[in-house]
């Protein structure tokens, strides 16, 4: 059993190690100037400098705040509206056409409009992440609620549950896997959006650090930022996966 675990970890880690070795070797060959293609070791040294100086943490915290604010607000709104649309056909019929028109618009397509309406300030990335989180969570919540077996709802009704009780004790718990699918996917997407917004409009955050580094030809700093971004996306997705498993363990 222990051997199997070690093997499965090795299977996952070996390609990463191979990738790093190949990267380091190519960089050491000096075929391309080091400022264009820095080695893995140079990137790690820069990571250390950025971490110790606090530059990385400051920018990361700025981005994190925006992601959390936009994501929490957008997800909460998506879940609330999704519950309304999923459980009441009249609400669904009213809102479905307008949301169907707005959903296909790429989130960054809103950026020029919001720059004028909101201004270039902290609210801009929060608003963009709100939009990015709202629609997918909304549609996943609706799908989850509509997917609940009608017989189970009938059973709850025959057992004396009111509509409100059925929603809180049967429908929402059974819709959780779908709601969490939306949350998990959008947690990663929120990071991508914040980086884009910071690159074009906001002077702080990981995206802003990347765009400044680009003008100074600091590829090592850009790669450090990309690594941090990758880890944050993964951490957010895994967090929701973990919470979902904790909630649904046993019955799924």
Partner 1 sequence: MPTIEVRNIRNYVFSNLNMKVLDKELLVVLGPNGAGKTTLLNIIAGLVDYEGTILFDGIPVDKAPTNDRQIGYLFQNLALFPHLDVASNVGYSLKVRGKKKEEIAQEVDELLKLTKIEHLKRRYPKNLSGGEKQRVALARALATSPKVLLLDEPFNSLDSGMCNCLRREIRQIQREMGTTTVFVTHNLTDAEEMGDRIVVLNEGKIQQVTSKMFKDATDNDNRSQRFQDCLHCAIDCYCKRKEGDYESADSPACRM
Select from 21-29, 115-123, 160-168, 210-218 the region that touches partner 1 (CB under 8 A). 160-168
Closest CA to 207 of 67, 105, 39: 67
Query: Is residue 158 close enough to count as binding partner 1 by CB under 8 A?
Result: yes
Each residue 233-252 as x (binds partner 1 by CB under 8 A) or -, in order, gives ---------------x-xxx
- Interface of this chain with partner 1, residues 173 to 232, rule: CB under 8 A: 173-174
Binding residue for partner 1, selected from 154, 203, 216, 234, defined by CB under 8 A? 154
| DSSP-derived secondary structure letter, 203 | S
End-to-end CA distance of the chain: 25
Structural tokens at position 62: 């700025």
| Least distance CB 174 / partner 1 (angstroms) | 6
Closest CA to 63 of 183, 202, 186, 189: 202
| Least distance CB 169 / partner 1 (angstroms) | 7
| Least distance CB 159 / partner 1 (angstroms) | 4
The residue (of 50 and 172) whose beta carbon lies closer to partner 1 is 172
Each residue 134-153 as x (binds partner 1 by CB under 8 A) or -, in order, gives ---------------x-xx-
Establish how many alpha carbons lie within 13 A of residue 75's alpha carbon, considering only the half-sphere containing its beta carbon: 19
| Least distance CB 172 / partner 1 (angstroms) | 10
Helical residues (DSSP H) of the chain, grouped into ranges:
2-28, 40-53, 55-87, 89-102, 111-117, 123-146, 150-158, 163-166, 172-200, 206-215, 219-248
Binding residue for partner 1, selected from 49, 146, 157, 212, defined by CB under 8 A? 157
Binding residue for partner 1, selected from 36, 160, 215, 246, defined by CB under 8 A? 160
Binding residue for partner 1, selected from 169, 214, 216, 245, defined by CB under 8 A? 169
The residue (of 67 and 175) whose beta carbon lies closer to partner 1 is 175
Q: What gap in Å lies between CA 197 and CA 203, rounded to an integer?
A: 10
SS3 sequence, 129-151? HHHHHHHHHHHHHHHHHHCCCHH
Q: What gap in Å lies between CA 235 and CA 251, rounded to an integer?
A: 25
Question: Where do contacts with partner 1 occur on this chain (CB under 8 A)?
Answer: 149, 151-152, 154-162, 165, 169-170, 173-174, 248, 250-252
């Amino acid at each position: 059993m222990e051997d199997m675990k070690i093997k499965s970890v090795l299977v996952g880690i070996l390609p990463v190690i191979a990738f790093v070795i190949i990267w380091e070797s190519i960089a050491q060959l000096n075929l391309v100037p080091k400022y264009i293609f820095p080695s893995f070791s140079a990137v790690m040294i820069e990571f250390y400098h950025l971490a110790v100086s606090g530059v990385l943490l400051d920018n990361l915290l700025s981005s994190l705040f925006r992601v959390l604010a936009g994501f929490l607000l957008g997800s909460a709104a998506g879940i609330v509206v999704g519950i309304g649309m999923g459980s009441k056909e009249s609400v669904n019929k009213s809102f479905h056409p307008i949301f169907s028109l707005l959903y296909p618009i790429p989130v960054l397509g809103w950026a020029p409009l919001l720059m004028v309406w909101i201004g270039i300030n902290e609210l801009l990335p929060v608003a963009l992440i709100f939009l990015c989180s709202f629609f997918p969570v909304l549609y996943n919540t609706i799908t989850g609620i509509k997917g609940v077996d009608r017989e189970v709802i009938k059973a709850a009704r025959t057992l004396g549950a009111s509509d409100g009780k059925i929603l809180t004790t049967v429908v929402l718990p059974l819709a959780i896997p779908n709601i969490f699918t939306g949350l998990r996917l959008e947690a990663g997407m929120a990071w991508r959006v914040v980086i884009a917004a910071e690159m074009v409009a906001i002077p702080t955050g990981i995206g802003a650090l990347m765009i400044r580094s680009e003008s100074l030809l600091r590829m090592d700093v850009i790669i450090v930022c990309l690594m941090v971004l990758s880890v944050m996306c993964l951490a957010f997705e895994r967090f929701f996966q973990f919470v979902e498993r904790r909630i649904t363990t046993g019955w799924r």
